[in-house]
Structure 1
Amino acid sequence: MLFLGTHTPKLDDKGRIFLPAKFRPRLEDGLVITRGQEHCLYVYPLAEFERIATEMTTGTTTTSRDVRDYQRVFLSGASDEVPDKQGRVTIPPVLRDYAGLSAECTVIGAGNRVEVWDSAAWTTYLSQAEPAFAERSEEVVPGLI
């Protein structure tokens, strides 16, 4: 199952967010929230995060500073969580700060992961990225045209 679509849940005063109902079955047994690119948060099902972390740490060399830096930032911010019975998950303060989350959030499906954005940041990002997407004629993803 791929995560798809755009949703706009609110972040409550305790730092919790309702996961979109259609995402809950894949996340109900546990998930990991971590820093993502463009100052959003990545949310992975626990098994997918474990696969990525294992690949990241066994398929690379720690002699590269860039690799070490990326692993440190990605893994040090990771927080394993289990949604409550209502489908809420708590986003730790360090991750809320990293993503600049306010009450207004946008949650998007991004294939193998969910992304959590501050709604204003998402609107800005999308307004900048959509024109290039609409004009793209060369192959960006190998095998897709």
Structure 2
Amino acid sequence: MFVGEYEYKVDNKGRVPLPPKFRKEMEDGLVLTMVADNCITAYTKADWAKMTANAAPTGFFVSEDERRLNRFIYSNANDVAIDNQGRIALPAALRERCGISDTAIITGVNNYFEIWTPDGLKKEQLSADEARQLVDKMRERK
């Protein structure tokens, strides 16, 4: 499980350290992509395999929206290894699309984690009041 928020410097080769707590779950490497937000999303290879097995269908008989979404997610996906110092290299294209340059915020989101710019994460974070309102709204749906 990935929890917590960590701020790291991105080196001149685009590498960022992983929080030590995250490294054990990522020993086989990880998959980085973009999903819906303006951040890099990181999955264990096992979770990526599970997620993609249940994702939008592929092949000849899929809708235009499914093809476009598949193209976005899979064309941005990158297999990444952890080096001996516990760092991962963030692909240049993903860094550019997400605006990540010298500082990255890594935030745990249960079974995956996200890599944000400080300003990007600040815009997305909820206040305590907003979180409470969302919880109430979600309860009403059930």
TM-score, normalization: structure 2? 0.88
Give every structure 1 segment of 4 or more consecutive aligned residues whose post-TM-superposition deviation is greater than 6 Å.
Answer: none
What's the counterpart of residue 133 of structure 1?
A: 131
Verify the 8 A CA contact 1:18 1:87 in the aligned structure 2.
Answer: yes
Q: Provide the rounded CA distance (Å) in 1 between the counterparts of 2:130 and 2:36.
A: 18
Q: Provide the rounded CA distance (Å) in 1 between the counterparts of 2:130 and 2:68.
A: 29
Aligned length: 140
Q: Provide the rounded CA distance (Å) in 2 between the counterparts of 1:79 and 1:44.
A: 10
Displacement after TM superposition at 1:47 (Å): 1.1
Residue 43 to residue 124, structure 1, CA distance change in 2 (3 Å): same
1:16 aligns with 2:15: yes
Residue 94 to residue 61, structure 1, CA distance change in 2 (3 Å): same
Matches within 5 A, 1:14-93: 14-58=13-57, 62-93=61-92
Verify the 8 A CA contact 2:58 2:67 in the aligned structure 1.
Answer: no
Decide which moves more: 61-70 or 5-14: 61-70
Question: Is there any run of 5+ residues in structure 1 with no aligned partner, and where?
Answer: none
Q: Provide the rounded CA distance (Å) in 2 between the counterparts of 1:85 and 1:141.
A: 48
Q: For the aligned residues, what is the CA RMSD?
A: 2.2
Question: Is there any run of 5+ residues in structure 2 with no aligned partner, and where?
Answer: none
Q: Secondary structure at the match of 1:89?
A: strand
CA-to-aligned-CA distance 1:33-91 (integer Å, 9 cap, x gap): 00132210110011111111222155898521111111110011110011001110001
Q: Provide the rounded CA distance (Å) in 2 between the counterparts of 1:61 and 1:90.
A: 35
Q: Provide the rounded CA distance (Å) in 2 between the counterparts of 1:92 and 1:141.
A: 41
Q: Provide the rounded CA distance (Å) in 1 between the counterparts of 2:140 and 2:121.
A: 22
Q: For residue 116 of structure 2, what is the amino acid of its counterpart?
A: W
Verify the 8 A CA contact 2:57 2:66 in the aligned structure 1.
Answer: no
Q: Secondary structure at the match of 2:138?
A: coil
Residue 48 to residue 142, structure 1, CA distance change in 2 (3 Å): farther
Matches within 5 A, 1:117-132: 117-126=116-125, 129-130=126-127, 131-132=129-130
Seq. identity, %: 29
Q: Provide the rounded CA distance (Å) in 2 between the counterparts of 1:108 and 1:141.
A: 28
